[in-house]
């Protein structure tokens, strides 16, 4: 089947373009407009935006909705420590605020889940960019210890933020 060759061809296109290898980004940009069947975002003139669907737009899911459907985050932010436990709502509020600011203009920047994890909370995101923004927002707002680990091959960012009691 032709479709099976799709991902390979797509990777090759990305190599030629020098782009990062991220299976959730369209390697070959659609010719026309796309309307996401999940969140309603619109792909137009090379980027995803929030807009009314143009007539005749192709209907399929955007990369963020694909990640959510497949449970495949691009960013992981682990938050731990006594300070975090004591100021959990405030810290999570900062994280959500960060998402709101990004998502307003960039539909692909979203939090996927905020889950309890060992010693704290794990936040997952649909993009590396948002995970990085959240990491730096945590550090600038609350100090603490921050570490970022980027996996280039899979285009994944793992963030660990921790702060002991003040
Ligand atoms: Zn979508």
Report how far ligand 1's centroid is from the alpha carbon of 97 (Å). 20
- Centre of ligand 1 to C-alpha 4, Å, is 23
Q: How far apart are CA 24 and CA 20, in angstroms?
A: 11
Distance between Cα 84 and ligand 1 center (Å): 32
Tokens 């991902």 sit on residue: 7
Q: How far is the CA of 124 from the centre of ligand 1 (A)?
A: 16
Ligand 1 centroid to residue 100 C-alpha, Å: 16
In the DSSP assignment, the letter for residue 137 is: H
User: For residues 4 and 79, which has the higher predicted lDDT (pLDDT)?
Assistant: 79
Q: List alpha helices for 18-164, DSSP H.
A: 63-70, 82-86, 88-105, 128-142
Distance in Å, CA 159 to ligand 1 centroid: 24
- CA 140 / ligand 1 centre spacing (Å): 30
Q: pLDDT tens, 53-81?
A: 999 999 999 999 999 999 999 999 999 99
Q: Are 133 and 126 in contact (CB under 8 A)?
A: no
Domain ranges of the chain: 2-69, 71-162
Q: How close is the Cα of 66 to the center of ligand 1, in Å? A: 7
CA–centroid distance, 125 to ligand 1, in Å, is: 14
pTM assigned to the model: 0.82
* Residue 31 pLDDT grade (very low, low, confident, very high; cuts 50, 70, 90): confident
Evaluate if residue 146 carries a pLDDT over 70: yes
Rounded to whole angstroms, the Cα distance separating 103 from 121 reads 21
155 in Cβ contact with 25 (< 8 Å): no
Distance 165 CA to ligand 1 centre (A): 39
Helix 88-105 crosses helix 128-142 at what angle (to 10 degrees)?
A: 140
């Amino acid at each position: 089947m032709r479709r099976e060759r799709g991902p390979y061809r797509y990777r090759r296109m990305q190599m030629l373009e020098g782009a990062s290898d991220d299976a959730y980004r369209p390697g070959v940009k659609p010719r026309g407009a796309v309307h996401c069947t999940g969140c309603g975002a619109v792909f137009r003139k090379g980027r995803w935006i929030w807009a009314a669907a143009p007539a005749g737009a192709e209907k399929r899911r955007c990369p963020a909705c694909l990640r959510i459907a497949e449970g495949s985050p691009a960013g992981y932010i682990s938050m731990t420590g006594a300070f975090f436990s004591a100021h959990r709502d405030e810290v999570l509020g900062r994280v959500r605020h960060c998402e709101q600011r990004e998502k307003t203009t960039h539909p692909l920047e979203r939090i996927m889940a905020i889950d309890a994890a060992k010693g704290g909370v794990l936040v997952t995101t649909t993009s590396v960019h948002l995970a990085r923004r959240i990491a730096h927002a945590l550090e600038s707002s609350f100090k603490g210890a921050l570490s970022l680990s980027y996996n280039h091959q899979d285009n994944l960012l793992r963030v660990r933020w921790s702060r002991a009691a003040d």
